[in-house]
Structure 1
Amino acid sequence: MIQEISSKYFSLFEKTPEVKVQAPGRINIIGEHTDYNLGFVLPAAINKYTFFAIGKNGAKTATIYSADYDESRKLDINIPKVKSSGWMKYMESMMIGLQEEGYKIGGFNLVFGGNIPIGAGLSSSAALTCGLYYALSELFDLGISKEKIAKMAQASEHRVGLNCGLMDQYAVTFSKKDHCLFLDCRNLKYKFFPAVLDGYTIVLLDTCITHELTDSGYNDRRNDVESVVELVKKKYPEVQSARDLTKEILGTLSDQIDPIKLKRAHFVINENTRVINTCEALSENDLVSMGKNMNQSHHGLSKMYEVSCKELDFLADFAHKDKNVLGARMMGGGFGGCTINIVKKGYEEEFISKASQAYKTAFNIVLKSYQVDLGKGLGRV
């Protein structure tokens, strides 16, 4: 695919790209909606990527071609505000980010595209923003550290309306092949855990219910939990984020907290515990316990945090009833996208076939599926 992107660059600009970069999509084994609550997450890069072929053009504008959408646009590198929609809004947001951080670039030509399914909860937008910042840093010798790239990419998402945490950007930027990345979202310290899935394969089932998180309840959930934290801080000033909440603390104030918001806060506490337990399970190669934690995570996301949907619940419930599936849950921001399933090796095709038939019968939607391996993080090709 990188060869296709490079060839397209040559056909459009009649020269070879100066820099080629790949940025992976990511899965999240467990730890959903805990990143912006400064808790724990356990993501990993996958072997699906967005590729970038880029070079200087000596102008004050950028010419950008999206291979996925077969669209070409001109971009003012000194854009004052985000005014576009779709993929172009991210480009504009990144130009603003470079200006705010004091990085000066010249005009450039860019072709980008890849095989990360868009809208499936695999962080295609984080791959786009981290990948382009890295490509521009390499092209113009900006020397932006990977930590800074992750934070600038997060700010770019905030600028277009998604108030996300840093999990996606850190997973895209720092992941290591065949490992999960345990990230403490408060101090941004991370540790790698080998993911030895002996006899099992990661299968993603795509509901084909696309989600635009900036238009969903994502920000509402964040506001719910943050309002609980603000109330709790009045009595317990040591509580600075939902990471600091405990069931005991919430119990002393339960009569003062809206029941729905209380339920959201309890989910965050439980999910952080599940991440720690899953890391211990991986250390002991206890895949059965990992799968149980994933099942419990889905129940919490569906019933307590309420970011699932009927299609996601159907697929998760279907997998939970199958003895050849160790664990399954919705993944990503929610309201659509994929379930992640740990499926016995050799059973993948039968599982996908059965799930597809059941899903078609229930919703008259053709299910998409992806078998993925754990890939490497952001870097030059």
Structure 2
Amino acid sequence: MIHPSIEILNKVYGECETSIKRYEALSQQFMEHFNSEQMEFFSAPGRTEIVGNHTDHNGGKILAASITLDTIGAAYPNNSNIISIFSEGYENEIRLDLSKIDEVPINQGSLSLIAGMMKATTNSGFKAAGFNAYISTSVISAAGVSSSASFEMLICSIINYFFNDSKMSYIDYAKIGQYAENKYWSKASGLMDQMACAVGGTISLDFSNDVKYEKVDFSFSKIGYDLIIVNTGKGHADLSQEYSDIPMEMKAVANKLGGTLLCDSNLPTFLEHFKELEESLENDRALLRSMHFYEENRRVEEAIQAVADHNEKHLLKIIEESGNSSWKWLQNCYVATDNKDQKINLALALTEIFIKKIGDGSCRIHGGGFSGVIMSIIPKVETANYIDYMSKFIDQKNIYPMNIREYGAIHLDKL
């Protein structure tokens, strides 16, 4: 069977037994669907947001990382204008004729997303051409770990390698994915998801002047903790309005303060004009969300310093503060119009009881929020106990111990 080398698999995944089986199954499906043994392998991870919830779209700061759940693909050019993609678990082909890209309607799932990405690719001066691909993913869908961004960054790595001599940057990748989501999915997303999936490892992000990123030498595993994602059981695929409201409300405050984004102002200026903002906007939630933004930027800076100082206890405290701010100020732990459904808050409350009992750890809402997943940081010696405890309330198959992955969106054969 065809698969990446054992050396590369060990380098990316830290093992080869499970990953070989995944790639062998992937190559078998590629051969069955496209009747060819010519293929190259690609991978793009999901992501975790450590601190910096809903700040990217207003020019804020984030500490984020890629995770060990990933989307993988076998692909090869087909010397045509047709992009043909099959995905594990889906019967229908995603088929895009690049010569008819302007005829593709928006908001039509993966086809619209691919069309938007190819449009952004050529608009950015890069080349798009036809290819065949079979794709499989372990990234939890519609649950806050960026399954869509993982898919997008995988596609970018494919077109970068085959058609652009690897000249596209991670920022190019991210902007292509963002354009597709904004214009072809009507989703007001920022760049954080795409950047964290593309770059790999732990990174600090600053969106105040376009986007800047730096690698940060950090993983929870190195300091004796496990990163555990708990899926509360309800996806957030139908919450576009809730997600769009957050950046728009923040921008409304920024406009009143004479800027475009909240990064154009600061907390002292906001407080100085608080009463007039309150009276003119008549939207207390917008004010709370703006205060979350200013304080979250401060927490990101403190978290980066805590990592540099090897002060893990302070880092855990910052993560807890960030999560509490998301819960109380940002208000993205449940949908206001459906306040009887609070699965995120229940999972957080149950985890806080466990953490209080053992006297160590941290937890927070993870990702866009309103439903989906929470992130728990648990001492390795207590991970099994935490999983047993949470399994009393949530199906164990929805509890995912994982690590921060060093590699982002990659072509495995050229790693």
Name the residue aligned to 1:283: 308
Q: Does 1:19 align with 2:54?
A: no
Distance of 1:30 and 1:132 partners within structure 2: 27
Q: Does 1:372 align with 2:392?
A: no
Distance of 1:3 and 1:274 partners within structure 2: 44
Note the alpha carbon deviations across 1:253-298, whole angstroms, 9 max, x for none. 2122232211111010111111111111111222221121122212
CA drift at 1:366: 7.0
Aligned pairs for 1:169-208 (under 5 A) are 169-176=194-201, 180-187=202-209, 188-197=211-220, 198-208=223-233
Q: 1:106 to 1:170 in 2, by over 3 A?
A: closer
Instruction: Give TM-score scaled by structure 1 length.
Output: 0.90
Q: Does 1:151 align with 2:169?
A: no
Q: Which amino acid aligns with 1:372?
A: M
Q: Does 1:127 align with 2:157?
A: no
Provide the aligned C-alpha RMSD in A. Answer: 2.0
SS of aligned partner of 2:84: strand
Q: Does 1:333 align with 2:363?
A: no
CA drift at 1:83: 4.2
CA drift at 1:194: 2.1
Note the alpha carbon deviations across 1:127-176, whole angstroms, 9 max, x for none. 11121022012112353233212211111111211111111111111123
SS of aligned partner of 1:304: helix
Name the residue aligned to 2:349: 317
SS of aligned partner of 1:154: helix
Distance of 2:238 and 2:172 partners within structure 1: 24
Q: 1:263 to 1:141 in 2, by over 3 A?
A: closer
CA drift at 1:100: 2.7
Q: 1:92 to 1:40 in 2, by over 3 A?
A: same
Q: 1:67 to 1:367 in 2, by over 3 A?
A: closer
Name the residue aligned to 1:57: 78
CA drift at 1:317: 2.0
User: What is the count of residue pairs matched by the alignment?
Assistant: 368
CA drift at 1:39: 0.9
Aligned pairs for 1:78-117 (under 5 A) are 78=99, 79-80=101-102, 81-83=104-106, 85-117=108-140
Name the residue aligned to 2:10: none
CA drift at 1:21: 1.1
CA drift at 1:97: 2.1
Q: Is 1:50–1:127's contact at 8 Å kept on the other side of the alignment? A: yes
Q: Gaps (5+ residues) in structure 1?
A: 234-238
Name the residue aligned to 1:232: 257
Q: Which amino acid aligns with 1:158?
A: N
Distance of 1:102 and 1:192 partners within structure 2: 27
Note the alpha carbon deviations across 1:5-36, whole angstroms, 9 max, x for none. 22211121121244321111001111010111
Q: 1:307 to 1:49 in 2, by over 3 A?
A: same
Overall identity of the aligned pairs, in %:
24
Q: Is 2:122–2:128's contact at 8 Å kept on the other side of the alignment? A: no
Note the alpha carbon deviations across 1:277-327, whole angstroms, 9 max, x for none. 111111122222112112221221122111112211121122223244411
Q: Is 2:94–2:110's contact at 8 Å kept on the other side of the alignment? A: no
Of the structure 1 ranges 20-29 and 86-95, higher mean CA displacement relative to structure 2 is found in 86-95
SS of aligned partner of 2:391: helix
Instruction: Give TM-score scaled by structure 2 length.
Output: 0.83
Q: Does 1:304 align with 2:326?
A: no
Q: Is 1:200–1:345's contact at 8 Å kept on the other side of the alignment? A: yes
Distance of 2:311 and 2:88 partners within structure 1: 42
SS of aligned partner of 1:20: strand
Q: 1:196 to 1:51 in 2, by over 3 A?
A: closer
Q: 1:125 to 1:280 in 2, by over 3 A?
A: same
Name the residue aligned to 1:353: 388
Q: Gaps (5+ residues) in structure 2?
A: 1-21, 335-341
Name the residue aligned to 1:292: 317
